[in-house]
Structure 1
Amino acid sequence: MIRILLAEDEPVLARNIARSLERMGAQVTHAPSAAATRAALALGSFDLAIADISLGDGDGIEVLGDVSDKLQGTPVIVMTGEDSVDNRMRAENLPVAAFLTKPFALSRLREIVGALTRMSAQSASPATGPSVVMYSHDTIGLGHMRRNSAIARELVARVPGLSVLMLVGCPAGMVFDPQPGIDYVKLPSLAKLGRGVFQAGSLRIDAETTRAMRARIIEGVLSTIEPDIFLVDHEPAGAMDELRPVLEGLRDKAHVRTVLGLRDILDDPARTRVAWAEGGTDRLISDFYDHVLVYGDQRFFPSVEAYGLEVLKPGAVTECGVVTTVRQQVRPPSPRAPSRIVVSGGGGRDAFPLIEAAINAAETLPNRCRPRLTVVTGPLMDAELRSEALRIGAVAGVEVLERVSDLPALMGEADLLLTMAGYNSINEGLAVGCPIVTVPRLGPSSEQRLRAEALERLGLARYLRREDLRPETLARIMRQTPPRPNPQSLKMDGVRMAARILARMIGEVRHPDRERAHA
């Protein structure tokens, strides 16, 4: 247990700080005065000292200076209502790690305390805590990174001291809120021109140079961290096969587990199996991956059989269920046409035709029956097209946003969701019980078309073909009573299942004897 000395003469602030730190598992000794601080240091040692400069009967910096021999390198956090140059100069002879100017957020104090205590623990023992590296190549959308992000958040909540480093290729970088224990490394962006054909996304260099840079970064990260688990999303060999040498290097490292995460629908099954056989991807999965996580439900799409994963060794594949952080909700059916419609472009790279048609459709409706329309373009839409969406939205009186902090909450308030058929957008809409009309991407993959067909077959969403995407068609849909999806039969707890499996693997790597005993 971490022992903390808190020298603070304001009783309310001291109580709040102590309670906050005790929730972290710390043992806090409160010294309400300079004299009490001296007495506490005379009686025992501490892992960390937090001291206010003004202690009523003395000066906190002077008190700690007088007993510096008792601190013996113990890190100190100084709190003050006056963060002046003079005060900082007076503290130069103390091991001051941080200055906090009042008022400050307790979350900020906890963050600093956590970092300092981790540093102390690492200096006492060079062993590092558990770690996971996640790879999401992300070219045209955000799906791969969103799945990994959801699993990462669940993992750090399950595994004490876990660090997750995400390798992301998304042009917008890490677009989700940061969280303690999770960070990311940005790989040079790629643009997908066709099936298996890439070019540099932003840099004016050739594709092979981009691949070489990405591969060196990935290799450098893995050789430096040597994680317990390397989780790869969607692309078994990585974009342009950049992971092949990495996976070969990890094969002989018994302390690293390699895991492949696959969404339920990849592409046309027959085409995928042929491509995997011709490119050696099927052998790569069998030879280099310890486990495969399928982020889907057999009742929605038979992924294991469709992509030939049943030939892997017994126990090597787990069907996790749908990966989404949204808690499943049930809403009663609406007896009327939608009054609130959300149009989501997912990442937004190729969503402009849907957004333009939806805005034009709303503009054709009479004011008395026009629904409130909120359009979310997505952060990856080209700036020129986003500007055009904003322009036509302003003319039509439609709210157009680049992104929102909580899209599922917006869906939860809507009577209808118009979206493409991306994995995350669809499953978030299903989870909140929002009626859905899908307009799937035309290609180069068949994934979205197959998802739209499966949704319509199960009565979970209406499928609007791209050739039928016209303002007049959408206007009719906007005036109809929407069907209510019922995804209750689908497994929607994929995040927890995937995190549970990965946490167990970390335990097997870290404590093999104990895990065998529990088996």
Structure 2
Amino acid sequence: MYSHDTFGLGHIRRCLAIARSLRKCPANILIVTGSLLVGRFKIPRRIDFVRIPGMIKVTNEQYLPLSMKLEAAEVLEIRKKIILASAMAFRPDFFIVDKAPLGLKREVVETLHWLMSDLPSCRSILGLRDIMDSAPVTIQEWEEKGIYDAMDQLYHEIWVYGCQDFYDPIKEYRIPPQVASKIHFTGYIPRQIPSQEEIQAMRRGLGIGDKEKLVLVTTGGGGDGLPVVNTFLSAFHPAEGGILNRARVVVVTGPFISPKDYAEVVKKCQSLGFIPLKFHRFMEALIGAAQVVVSMGGYNTVCEIASQRKPFLILPRT
């Protein structure tokens, strides 16, 4: 599996959810990822990862090295070689590319060509969310970058993680018939359901009693979630009554919040008696422990909440 991971946690969390399902086959799964935090997640047996040097998204077209003091082109070349070397050594039966058909700045194209020529038994699969962006924006981007041709020429199958009756990307994004014939709608990706023992252990670890009500606030990776957190926190005052004075509140900002902003969130949470966290490796258990979840509308977080049938309030980016 390949996940470029240049912003947030969504790509790697989706890959891990898919990997957990595929390991039931059984299968050995190797994830090639640029995620800085991949090693901090709870990863089961038969799933492992190769971490390529991180890149961070500045604009839709500009990416910079996350840590290395090298030119972007140099880091991209390193990433490209590691991706290809991983495929050549692992020799997969399936090669699943998350979201970006060409990879970051076309970094996965050489690997896809090698698989076609040197390992023809491997099936290359493109995995897509059902809703990528607005239709005009997506169509323009796919035409300009040659995405329709790439889907036609480089992939055996395209998995759409959604339901065609809910949103039909074939129609909305004007996908040509020869590409549409490769598309399989998988439904929305179910997430790991924590056991009662895991939920109780989560509560004990946070100092929350089994009978106490818990409200969870989460903004995914946290790169753009501060307004949601601040709006939630500003709605309450320690001296006021209300349901949150009779419940415990955990606020997970996401690891990509700036240190300055996180310090402010911690200060506000402490004044309200809330529990601030920057990251948690087992969000499924944290969601399972909550009675209500307040969140942004990211694909992965919504799938995690819906999988556990939790009441939720969603505040989307737009």
Displacement of 1:395? 1.8
AA of the residue aligned to 1:427: C
SS in 2 for 1:309: coil
Structure 2 counterpart of 1:67: none
Is 1:304 equivalent to 2:170 in the alignment? Answer: yes
2:229 to 355, 375, 389: 355
- Relative to structure 1, the CA distance from residue 255 to residue 368 in structure 2 (aligned partners, 3 Å threshold; closer, same or farther) is closer
Judge conservation of contact 2:130–2:162 (CA < 8 Å) in 1.
yes
Is 1:148 equivalent to 2:15 in the alignment? Answer: yes
Displacement of 1:221? 0.8
Runs in 1 of length 4+ with deviation above 6 angstroms? none
Displacement of 1:257? 1.0
- Relative to structure 1, the CA distance from residue 340 to residue 217 in structure 2 (aligned partners, 3 Å threshold; closer, same or farther) is same
SS in 2 for 1:165: strand
2:277 to 394, 397, 401: 401
Structure 2 counterpart of 1:346: 220
Judge conservation of contact 2:238–2:271 (CA < 8 Å) in 1.
no
Where structure 2 has 5 or more consecutive residues not aligned to the other structure, the ranges are: 195-212
Within-5 A mapping of 1:57-456: 134-159=1-26, 162-252=27-117, 253-309=119-175, 311-313=177-179, 315-326=181-192, 340-363=214-237, 366-371=240-245, 372-441=248-317, 449=318
- Relative to structure 1, the CA distance from residue 360 to residue 223 in structure 2 (aligned partners, 3 Å threshold; closer, same or farther) is same
Judge conservation of contact 2:80–2:108 (CA < 8 Å) in 1.
yes
Displacement of 1:318? 0.3
- Relative to structure 1, the CA distance from residue 318 to residue 368 in structure 2 (aligned partners, 3 Å threshold; closer, same or farther) is closer
Structure 2 counterpart of 1:507: none
Which one has the largest radius of gyration? 1
Q: TM-score, normalised by structure 2?
A: 0.86
* Residue deviations 1:434-480 (CA, integer Å, cap 9, x gap): 23222223xxxxxxx4xxxxxxxxxxxxxxxxxxxxxxxxxxxxxxx
- Relative to structure 1, the CA distance from residue 173 to residue 319 in structure 2 (aligned partners, 3 Å threshold; closer, same or farther) is same
* Residue deviations 1:348-390 (CA, integer Å, cap 9, x gap): 2221221122122222771354353210122333333223221
- Relative to structure 1, the CA distance from residue 170 to residue 405 in structure 2 (aligned partners, 3 Å threshold; closer, same or farther) is closer
AA of the residue aligned to 1:361: A
Judge conservation of contact 1:171–1:380 (CA < 8 Å) in 2.
no
Q: Relative contact order, CA 8 A, sep 6+: which one is greater?
A: 2
- Alignment partners' CA distance in 1, 2:283 and 2:90: 34
- Alignment partners' CA distance in 2, 1:206 and 1:350: 26
AA of the residue aligned to 2:7: I
Displacement of 1:300? 2.6
Where structure 1 has 5 or more consecutive residues not aligned to the other structure, the ranges are: 1-133, 329-338, 442-448, 450-519
SS in 2 for 1:417: strand
* Residue deviations 1:311-353 (CA, integer Å, cap 9, x gap): 235641100000122459xxxxxxxxxx642110211222122
Q: Give me the identity figure in percent.
A: 30
SS in 2 for 1:292: strand
- Relative to structure 1, the CA distance from residue 368 to residue 327 in structure 2 (aligned partners, 3 Å threshold; closer, same or farther) is closer
Displacement of 1:150? 1.5
The number of residue pairs the alignment matches comes to 297
SS in 1 for 2:229: helix
Structure 1 counterpart of 2:208: none
Displacement of 1:431? 2.2
State the Cα RMSD in Å. 2.2
Q: TM-score, normalised by structure 1?
A: 0.54
